[in-house]
Amino acid sequence: MIDKPIETVMRESNRDILIPADLVATVNQDNNLQHVFMVLTKVKYAKIPVLDNDNHFKGLVSLPMITELMMQDTGITSRPLEAIKVKQIMQKDVPTIYERDNLEAILRYLVDENFLVFVDADTHFKGIITRRELFKEINYLAHNFNKRYIALPVYNHKSKSETKNAKVHGSKGMIN
């Protein structure tokens, strides 16, 4: 569980860590891979969300998923891309979040992934939460924590350097 003071200060930043859907580059699940290839190349994002006609979130597509199909025995070609729809190759088993205040889950997920997809209860795509936006929150926390709380060392706690010094110089006079 996240310590209450940490969560309180992060929430006080009043910044929205969500990039809203209208600012996120997406493709439609029926788009062919030629189109998706061009979109990904243009927006320069490694991976983007795939939606259906009603804006439901369906999956994710990345450039490597497409370039793999372009590699033929004879060399690299974009010819096969026209006949394949993105829904045939997209990543479908993608965790999403619909409680945007669940900081605990967001932090845990973004340890391994670059972004987290935010949906409503009917899986309509609402936006993404990226590592970059979360880092801005952590930066805010690092610079503002002591404006709201006084951090005291835990009694009996030894920092790594104290422990190292104790080993080198002996532990005389230290509280053990």
**Which residues of this chain interact with ligand AMP, rule CB under 6 A?**
19, 23-25, 45-48, 114-115, 128, 130-132
Q: Name the residue nearer to ligand AMP (CB basis): 42 or 160.
A: 42
Q: Name the residue nearer to ligand AMP (CB basis): 25 or 83.
A: 25
Residue 41 CB, nearest approach to ligand AMP (Å): 13
Residue 159 CB, nearest approach to ligand AMP (Å): 32
Burial environment of residue 56 by CB neighbours within 10 A (0 to 12, 13 to 18, 19 or more): middle
Q: Name the residue nearer to ligand AMP (CB basis): 51 or 81.
A: 51
Q: How far apart are CA 175 and CA 28, in angstroms?
A: 64
Residue 62 CB, nearest approach to ligand AMP (Å): 8
Residue 63 CB, nearest approach to ligand AMP (Å): 10
Q: How far apart are CA 138 and CA 6, in angstroms?
A: 9
Helix axis angle for 33-43 and 63-70, nearest 10°, is: 130
Q: Name the residue nearer to ligand AMP (CB basis): 131 or 158.
A: 131
Query: For residues 39, 41, 46 and 47, what is the CA-based torsion angle, rounded to 10 degrees?
Result: 20
Q: Name the residue nearer to ligand AMP (CB basis): 108 or 148.
A: 108
Cα-based distances in Å from 75 to 40, 67, 68, 82, 84 = 21, 12, 12, 17, 19
Contact 29, 125 (CB under 8 A): no
Residue nearest to ligand AMP (CB): 132
Residue 110 CB, nearest approach to ligand AMP (Å): 9
